[in-house]
Amino acid sequence: MRASAYIRFALVSALASGCMVGPDYRPPEVAAPPQWGELPPTPASGQTPEATAEVGAVQHDQAATWWAVFDDPQLSWLMEAAAVGNFDLQQAEARIRQARALRTIAAAPLWPNVLSQGSYAREHVSANAPGGGATLGSSFDLYQVGFDSSWELDVFGGNRRAVQSAEAGLEASQFDWASVLVTLMGEVGSNYVTYRTLQQRIRIATENVETQQDTLALTRRLFAAGLATDLDVARAEAQVATTQSTIPQLTAQAHEVMHFLGVLLGEPPMELANDLAAVGTIPTGPSLVEVGIPSDLLLRRPDLRSSERQLAAATANIGVATRDLYPRFFVTGFGALESVKASTLFDWPSRAASIGPSVSWTVFDAGMIRATVALRTAQQEELLAAYRSVILQAFREVEDALVAHAQDQKTRDDLATATAANQRAADLAKQLYIQGLTDFLSVLQAQFNLFTSQDALAQSEGAIALDLVALYKALGGGWEPVPASQPNAPAIETRRRGYLKTAS
C-alpha cells in the first residue's frame, strides 16, 4: 500500500506539472512602414510601387545566389570557395553544435537520474560500541550492488522553461550562422568589386601614361624643331610623372584587397594572386531589383530572427528564475542487494529498497531569488529594446542602399557624358596644338581632365556594384528561410544551394 501511495503522489504531482511559472512568450508587434520611401518610381507610371520594382528584378528564389545577377563566373567561384573554407562560418557552425548540446543538457532534468553502484567493505565492529551483543568486536565482509535514483517533478515548469530557453538559443545560433553567411557573401562581393575597380583604374592610368608619353615625345620633337618651348617639355614630363605616381598606390590597394579575399576564403593572402592576375571588368548588375515590402525584412534577415530568438530565450529565463520562489518536489528511490557473503549476494532475501517523496523550499535567502527574477526581467526588456533597434537599423540600411544605388546611377550617367566630352576635347586640343592654333597648356589641361573623368567613371561604376551588394546584404540575401511548421516558430533551417551544405 505504501508503494502505491507513493505512485499516486507522483502521478498527482505530474498532472500538476502542467502549470509553468513566468511569462509565456509572444513575438512582439513591430510597426513597419507600408513601402520603402527611397524606392525609385517605375518608368511607366512615375509612381513609387508599394511592393517591388519589377524592371530587371531578381526573383525571391534567386535570393540565395544574388551574385548571379552580375554574371561573373569568377565571383561565383569565390562565393563557393568562401562558403566552404571561411573560418568565421566554421566557428558559427561549431556554435550551433554547442547550442544543441546545451539543449540536451537543459532537457536532462526532465527525466529521472539513476546512479548504479557496487561496493565491498571489510568492517570491524568496536567492542566498546553501545548496544552489546555477540557482534561487538567482530569483523565481517559486506557486499553491496544497487542503484540510487532521483526524479524532480517539474510542478512549476522551471525545467521546461529552461528547455524553452535552450531551444530558442539553438535557433538563435542557427540564425547567427546564417547572418555570418550573409555577411561573408557581402564581404566577398564588395571586395571583389573593389578589386576589379582598382584594376580598371590602374588600366586607365596606364593608358593615360602612354598617351601622355606620346604627347611628351611630340613636344620634344617640336622643341627640337624650334616650334615648342622648354617649358612645354617640362610640363609634359611633369604630367607623365604625376599620372605614373598614381599607379603604385592603386596597385598596393589592389594587392591588399586580394590578400583580404584570400583570408575570406580561408587561404593564405597570396593564394589568389594567379587567379586574379588577369584584368577583369567591373561587375554590372540590374538597374532595379526586387526588394519586397519592409515587413518582409523580419523574415528575410537572419540577424533580426536571431535577435527575436534571443528575446524568446530571455523570456523563458524569467520563468526559470521564478521557479525558485516555489517548493521543489522529488521522488527518490533506492534498490540494492546486500550480503555479508558473496555467495548469497544475489539471493532474494538479500534485497533492500526504499522509495519516497521529498520536498525542498528556500525559506530565507536575503532576497536573492527575487533579485534574480528582477535581473532576468530587466535582461528581457533590454533585449526587447535591442530587437526593436536592430529592426530600425535594418530598415535604414535598405533605404540607404536604395538611395545610393539610384543616385550613383545618375552620377555614372553624368560622368559618362563628361568622359566622352573630355575625350573629344583632348583630341581637338592636340590637333590644334600641332597646327599651332592653341597653346600647350590647353593640351595638358584637356588630357588631365580626361584622365580625371575616366578614373571617376570607373569609381562610379564600382560604386553602383557596391550599392547592389549592400542592397542584397541589407535585404538578407545569401540564404533562404524554410517556412515555419508551427505558429510563432521561426524557420530555423537554411537551405544553401549546390555547393553549400545545410546547417541544422
Q: Starting at the earlier edge strand, list the strands of the sheet with 139-153.
A: 113-124, 139-153, 328-339, 351-360
DSSP state of 481: B
Tens-place pLDDT, residues 351-407:
888 888 999 999 999 999 999 999 999 999 999 999 999 999 999 999 999 999 999
Calculate Rg over the CA atoms of the chain. Answer: 37
Cell numbers of 127, please?
A: 567492542
Beta bridge partner(s), residue 331: 151, 357
At residue 259 the predicted structure's pLDDT band, cuts being 50, 70 and 90, is very high
Beta strands 328-339 and 139-153 are antiparallel
Q: Report the pLDDT averaged over residues 79-108.
A: 95
Tell whether 295 is covered by a domain.
no
Tell whether 39 is covered by a domain.
no
The winner for highest mean pLDDT among 343-357, 390-404, 469-483 is 390-404
DSSP secondary structure letters along 369-430: HHHHHHHHHHHHHHHHHHHHHHHHHHHHHHHHHHHHHHHHHHHHHHHHHHHHHHHHHHHHHH
Answer with the residue of higher pLDDT: 486 or 147: 147
- pLDDT value for 4: 53
Tens-place pLDDT, residues 111-151:
998 888 888 888 877 777 665 544 555 787 888 888 889 99
Question: How many domains does the structure of the chain reveal?
Answer: 1
Tell whether 307 is covered by a domain.
yes
CATH classification of the domain holding 156: 1.20.1600.10
Closest CA to 300 of 24, 32, 72: 32
How far is the C-alpha of 263 from the C-alpha of 278, rounded, in Å?
Answer: 20
Tell whether 51 is covered by a domain.
no
Tell whether 485 is covered by a domain.
no
Q: Confirm if 500 and 184 have CB atoms less than 8 A apart.
A: no
How far is the C-alpha of 285 from the C-alpha of 335, rounded, in Å?
Answer: 73
Tell whether 154 is covered by a domain.
yes
* Residue with the three cell numbers 545545410: 502
pLDDT at 493 > cutoff 70? no
Q: Enumerate helices (H) and strands (E) in the chain, giving the number of each.
A: 9, 4
Structural domain boundaries enclosing 213:
2-24+78-277+303-474
Tell whether 465 is covered by a domain.
yes
pLDDT at 471 > cutoff 60? yes
DSSP secondary structure letters along 214-227: HHHHHHHHHHHTTS
Q: Return mean pLDDT, the chain.
A: 85
Q: Confirm if 139 and 122 have CB atoms less than 8 A apart.
A: yes
Closest CA to 93 of 408, 450, 503, 420: 503
Tell whether 483 is covered by a domain.
no
Answer with the residue of higher pLDDT: 146 or 240: 240
Range scoring the smallest mean pLDDT among 54-68, 250-264, 408-422: 54-68
- pLDDT value for 47: 41
- pLDDT value for 118: 86
- pLDDT value for 280: 95
